[in-house]
Amino acid sequence: MNDLLSREKLIAFETDIADCFNAAMIKAPVHLYHGNELQMIRIFKRVQPADWVFCSWRSHYQCLLKGVPGDQLKQDILDGRSISLCYPEYNIFSSAIVGGNIPIATGMALDIKRKGGVSHVWCFVGDMTSETGTFYENHKYAVLHDLPVTYIIEDNGKSVCTETLRVWNLEKLTYSKKGVKKIICYKYKTRYPHAGAGKRIQF
Ligand SMILES: Cc1ncc(C[n+]2csc(CCOP(=O)(O)OP(=O)(O)O)c2C)c(N)n1
Ligand SMILES: [Mg+2]
């Protein structure tokens, strides 16, 4: 991980992006985090430079922690690429398609295992994404083949404005139970809406 990054620095980067968005400087959606910085830093203490990271539409914290320079990241977000940030040179890729990153992450882990590699795959998904069929199949395959992958479920309780547990009539997320292999699940309460930074922007 990028050792120079603290909770305060992550929040400062994100607040700057929120301000840019609210000042109509970004002509594309942004999806912000807030509230999960310590969990993210804890996870990235385990992520090695040669590891692979697969994310969703919300991936600026992962990019910073994987080593992507803040200036480059900010410019790409200003250029409208926030939902699909990909940096092959840092082994980090994002997909704006719900579940789109999961089979790619699992396939990468399969490739590493077949070639006898030592790197690990980290796949970030939202709480609703973790309840999809593709997540079930990929997790099952990864556990039964003991692939070098960890799926991180980032539980903000919502899919856009819809409550995930209510949709499925669940008391707890399916993969939040203790002892499920190859899963890290953490909760956070964001201060931002699903997309944007709170101000309606029109061009
Ligand atoms: C295949 C597909 N369907 C719908 C969408 C629209 N969409 C974007 S984010 C999102 C919510 C997903 O919720 P969750 O997995 O909990 O992620 P969060 O945004 O809360 O981190 C939806 C439905 C999409 N991007 N891709
Ligand atoms: Mg969610």
Distance CA 70, CA 13 (A): 8
Query: What is the per-residue pLDDT for 2?
Result: 67
Give the class (CATH, top level) of 7-187.
alpha beta
Query: What is the per-residue pLDDT for 202?
Result: 81
Contacts of 199 (CB under 8 A, 6+ apart): 21, 22
> Which ligand 1 atom is the nearest neighbour of the CA of 164?
16
Query: What is the per-residue pLDDT for 201?
Result: 86
pLDDT, average across residues 75-103? 98
Distance CA 133, CA 137 (A): 6
**Single-letter residue type at 110:** L
User: Is 1's pLDDT higher than 90?
Assistant: no
Query: What is the per-residue pLDDT for 111?
Result: 98
Average pLDDT, the chain: 96
* d(CA 160, ligand 1 centre) in Å: 7
* d(CA 152, ligand 2 centre) in Å: 12
The candidate with the shortest Cα–Cα distance to 159, out of 129, 125, 196, 198, is: 129
Contacts of 69 (CB under 8 A, 6+ apart): none
* d(CA 117, ligand 2 centre) in Å: 32
**Single-letter residue type at 116:** G
* d(CA 136, ligand 1 centre) in Å: 16
Tokens 């999961």 map to which residue?
Answer: 102
* pLDDT one-digit tens code per residue, 118-164: 999 999 999 999 999 999 999 999 999 999 999 999 999 999 999 99
Instruction: Show the tokens assigned to 183.
Output: 């899963």
Q: Is the pTM of this model over 0.75?
A: yes
The candidate with the shortest Cα–Cα distance to 52, out of 98, 7, 139, 113, is: 113
CB 148 within 8 A of CB 109: yes
Tokens 């790197």 map to which residue?
Answer: 119
Percentage of residues of the chain with pLDDT beyond 70: 98
- pLDDT band for 178, please (50, 70, 90 cuts): confident
Contacts of 174 (CB under 8 A, 6+ apart): 130, 131
Query: What is the per-residue pLDDT for 153?
Result: 98
Q: Which residues pair with 155 in a beta bridge?
A: 187
pLDDT, average across residues 190-195? 95
Distance CA 161, CA 43 (A): 27
Ligand 1, CB cutoff 6 Å, lining residues: 57-58, 96-98, 126-129, 154, 156, 158-160, 164, 194
Domain-wise residue ranges, the chain: 7-187
Distance CA 149, CA 51 (A): 10
